[in-house]
Amino acid sequence: MTLPSTRPLRAWTWCVAALAACTATAALAVTLAQQAREMGCTDKPVRLSGSDLYKCTAKNGFTSFFNVPDGEPAAAAAPATKAPGATRSATVPAPASFPRIDAGTQKSRDELRRKVLQDELANEEKLLAEARLAWGDGAPRPLPEEKSDAQRYADRIARLRQAVQLHERNVEALKRELSAR
């Protein structure tokens, strides 16, 4: 029996942690101990370097990430307060151990991605043309078995129309994605 990959869960957890770090406000600030209790931590939270994010192992065995605004120390008893004019950056710096990719590698990956999207667009446009031809503007010739069964003919027309609409949406989405880069 093979176990499912934990990559999607880790990515989701990291996104949640980043979102939590970006949306933290002074009104919601809590101590590290309170946050650890709420997250159900079974071990001592560890601070991720270069950020106000902490991680710990929760009761369910998964790694939980959470933040303590303003880098509040574990011994603090009251929530941290901010000066009235103080603001926070909307970005969370990446930890020092976060892997970096050089510009050349990223450019080649972007070019490969663009080529894959262009190939997909060409394929979808071909499938759209075939679907439109089969649909015949909503009035294809009935097949021999459909001549005596009007409902069967109507069902086939509906399926053909849905195929045309699906390929049209796919073409639009691929064009949007290509124009965004």
Same domain, 65 and 111: no
H or E element at residue 63: strand 63-67
Q: How far is CA 169 from the centre of its chain?
A: 20
The identity of residue 5, as a single letter, is S
111 pLDDT band (50/70/90 cuts)? very high
Indicate the residue among 26, 49, 71 that finishes a domain. Answer: 71
Rounded mean pLDDT of the chain? 76
> In sequence order, what are the residues at sequence separation of 6 or more whose Cβ sits closer than 8 angstroms to the Cβ of residue 117?
174, 177, 178
Same domain, 115 and 175: yes
User: Taking each helix axis from N to C terminus, what angle separates 150-180 and 103-135, rounded to the nearest 10 degrees?
Assistant: 160
Bridge partners of 66, per DSSP, are 54
Query: Would you call 17 helix, strand, or coil by DSSP?
Result: helix
| Domain-located, residue 132 | yes
Q: How far apart are CA 67 and CA 48, in angstroms?
A: 10
39 contacts 64 by C-beta, under 8 angstroms: yes
* The total number of structural domains that make up the chain: 2
| Domain-located, residue 85 | no
| Domain-located, residue 87 | no
Q: How far apart are CA 131 and CA 126, in angstroms?
A: 9
Tokens of 97: 């151990």
Average of per-residue pLDDT across 60-65? 77
Instruction: Give 102: exposed, middle or buried? Use CB within 10 Å, 0-12, 13-18, 19+.
Output: exposed
Structural domain containing residue 16: 7-71
Instruction: Give tens-digit pLDDT for 132-175.
Output: 999 988 888 889 888 888 899 999 999 999 999 999 999 999 99
**Would you say how long the chain is, in residues?**
181
pLDDT at 155: 93
